C-alpha cells in the first residue's frame, strides 16, 4: 500500500464492504420467502433488473422501485415490509473503521464514491449516528458522491471522470479503494491508482 500512496493527494473510498459490511444474500433469501420462488431465480431477476440501475442513478424514486420489484416478483410488499427487507443487507458500520478514515483524512483529502440508493442512504445515516455519534457520513470525508445523486454509477468511466473534475485533481493523484474488481478496473481506465479491498479491517 505504501507504494500506492506515492504521489497521491486524495483517497476515494467505496462504501459497501469497505466502510460498511454488507450481506447481499440476506435480501435474496427474504425476497425468496415472500415470493415463494427459489433463491437463484430471485437473484437473477433482481440483480440484473434494469430498474435497480435506474434506482441507483436516481431516475426513479422509492415508491416506483418498490412497485417494480413487486411486479417482478409477483408480490404485494408494502413500504415497511419492503424497506425492512431491502435494508437487511446493511450489516454494521465499524466505529474503529470510521475513526481510521478520520485519521487518514489528516494526511490526505478523503472522499466516498458509492453505488447506492435513497432507501439505503437514509438507513445507514441512522446507523452512522448510532455507531459514531456523528450526524452523517459526510462528517468523515470532504465530499460524498452517491450514484443516486450524481446520476451515474461505477464502473462507468464518466463516473470517475466526473468525480476527478469535481475534486479538481488529475486522476493520477487519486487512489481509489473498492471491493469489486470491475469498479477497480473502471477507476484504472480513468487514470486513477486503484486497489481492490478484500479485508476492510
Q: Under 8 Å CB-to-CB from 65, ≥6 apart: which residues? A: 51, 52, 54, 55, 117, 119
- pTM for the complete prediction? 0.94
Cα separation of 163 and 114, whole Å?
Answer: 11
Task: Decide: 11 and 104 in contact? Cβ < 8 Å.
Answer: yes
Alpha helix ranges (H) inside 9-135: 24-35, 39-47, 50-56, 62-73, 79-86, 95-104, 118-132
- How much is the pLDDT for 2? 61
Confidence band, pLDDT 50/70/90 cuts, at residue 45: confident
Q: Do the strands 20-22 and 90-93 form a parallel or antiparallel pair, or are they unpaired?
A: antiparallel
Cβ density class 36-54: b for 16+ within 10 Å, e for less? eeeeeebbebbeebebbeb
pLDDT at 165 over 90: yes
pLDDT one-digit tens code per residue, 137-147: 999 999 999 99
Amino acid at each position: 500500500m505504501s507504494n500506492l500512496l506515492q504521489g497521491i493527494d486524495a483517497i476515494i473510498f467505496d462504501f459497501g464492504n469497505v466502510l460498511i459490511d454488507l450481506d447481499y444474500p440476506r435480501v435474496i433469501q427474504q425476497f425468496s420467502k415472500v415470493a415463494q420462488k427459489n433463491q437463484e431465480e430471485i437473484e437473477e431477476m433482481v440483480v440484473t433488473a434494469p430498474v435497480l440501475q435506474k434506482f441507483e442513478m436516481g431516475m426513479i424514486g422509492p415508491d416506483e422501485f418498490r412497485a417494480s420489484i413487486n411486479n417482478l416478483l409477483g408480490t404485494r410488499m408494502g413500504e415497511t415490509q419492503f424497506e425492512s427487507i431491502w435494508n437487511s443487507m446493511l450489516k454494521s458500520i465499524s466505529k474503529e473503521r470510521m475513526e481510521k478514515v478520520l485519521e487518514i483524512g489528516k494526511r490526505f483529502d478523503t472522499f466516498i464514491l458509492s453505488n447506492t440508493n435513497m432507501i439505503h442512504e437514509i438507513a445507514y445515516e441512522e446507523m452512522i449516528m448510532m455507531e459514531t455519534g456523528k450526524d452523517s457520513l459526510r462528517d468523515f470525508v470532504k465530499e460524498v458522491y452517491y450514484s443516486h445523486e450524481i446520476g451515474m454509477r461505477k464502473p462507468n468511466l464518466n463516473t470517475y471522470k466526473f468525480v476527478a473534475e469535481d475534486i479538481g485533481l488529475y486522476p493520477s493523484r487519486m487512489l481509489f479503494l473498492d471491493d469489486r474488481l470491475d469498479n477497480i478496473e473502471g477507476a484504472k481506465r480513468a487514470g486513477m491508482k486503484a486497489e481492490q479491498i478484500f479485508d476492510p479491517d
